[in-house]
Amino acid sequence: MDAGTGMDWARLGPPLDVRPLFPRDRRALLDLLTALDPADWRRPTVCPGWDVHDVVVHLLHDHLRRLSGGRDGHPGPPFGPGETLPRFITRTNEDFVRASRQLSPRVLTELLTTLGPQLDGFWAGLDPAAPAGLDVSWAAPGTRAPNWLDTAREYTESWVHQQQIRDAVNRPGATGPDLLHPVLDTFLRALPHTLRAHPAHAGAAVRVLVPGPAGGEWTAVREGDHWALRIPATPAAPATVEVELAADTLWRLATRGITPREARRRATVRGDEGLARTALTILAIVSEPDPEPEI
């Protein structure tokens, strides 16, 4: 529990430890980057205005920020007047990307190779059950998240950007269940927060089913005035609604690679349609609110 806000972290489901996955995810990324030709580095990605080179720079930026702020206690740049967190992040990301366009692919790859093990050491030194220095606004806003959730969020950041690069250069990979399942598991920690404003009776349950070796079952249950994630999925009564969707659909939805409306077209829903549509607005990145969250 966060002593500052009184939030019960148990609502987020059982802890997960992704720290052993960082070296494996990075190895897949470095193998990919060393196989790219100069034209590949200039291919556009789903990130607006960013090509492959820019996304790799952003991954480097993540390494540098975590080591500087988390390990070394170095303060980052201040917020601008009236600047929201999403706008602050967008601005500082763009500043770093623009300044780093002078760096060669070889330099970027070598920096990731050097800094990655240092970041692994930082993660290894954290107490997973202790409060992190940051919140995870899409799952536990207004409270310091537990380290395990903050670390898992960073793992998803790295994995998703690698997939965006793979999409851009048409090189599938890094989607085995050992690497993908923890991404889905982390993203679904956002489900209780996603459902927070939906009126429902005590005991109402939303079950998300993801078929395939990387998938599983997750259930959010209405308990008093809040929703809580229960894994394994064992609600006291049959689920109010079951939402079944593919692993590829889920991770793209949670990062807004596809819209909630498109996700609904791809999903199979059994039960309360309104509750399902709310669940399909799930968002697991720092972003301004969806302009049209209803689907």
Block means of pLDDT (10 residues each) for the chain, length 295 residues? 62 96 98 98 97 98 96 92 90 96 98 98 97 90 92 98 98 97 98 93 94 96 92 69 98 97 98 97 82 55
Beta partners for residue 219, in sequence order: 207, 230
Beta partners for residue 216, in sequence order: 210
Q: What is the pLDDT of residue 234?
A: 56
Helix or strand (DSSP H, E) at 271: strand 268-271
Taking the C-alpha atoms of residue 156 and residue 178, their distance in angstroms, rounded to an integer, is 13
Taking the C-alpha atoms of residue 252 and residue 256, their distance in angstroms, rounded to an integer, is 6
pTM: 0.93
Alpha helices in the chain (DSSP H): 21-34, 38-41, 52-65, 85-99, 105-124, 147-169, 177-187, 191-194, 247-254, 260-266, 273-279
Taking the C-alpha atoms of residue 276 and residue 185, their distance in angstroms, rounded to an integer, is 18
Q: What is the pLDDT of residue 143?
A: 85
Nearest-Å Rg of the Cα atoms of the chain is 19
Q: Please report, as a single letter, which amino acid is at residue 29.
A: L
Taking the C-alpha atoms of residue 222 and residue 196, their distance in angstroms, rounded to an integer, is 9
Taking the C-alpha atoms of residue 53 and residue 131, their distance in angstroms, rounded to an integer, is 34
The helix/strand/coil state of 267 is coil
Q: Which two tokens stand for residue 291?
A: 């302009």
CA 33 to chain centre: 22
**Considering only CA atoms, which of 266, 253, 238 is closest in space to residue 293?**
253
Q: What is the pLDDT of residue 133?
A: 83
Q: DSSP character for 128?
A: T
**What phi and psi, each to the nearest 5 degrees, are found at residue 141?**
-65, 145
Helix or strand (DSSP H, E) at 210: strand 205-210
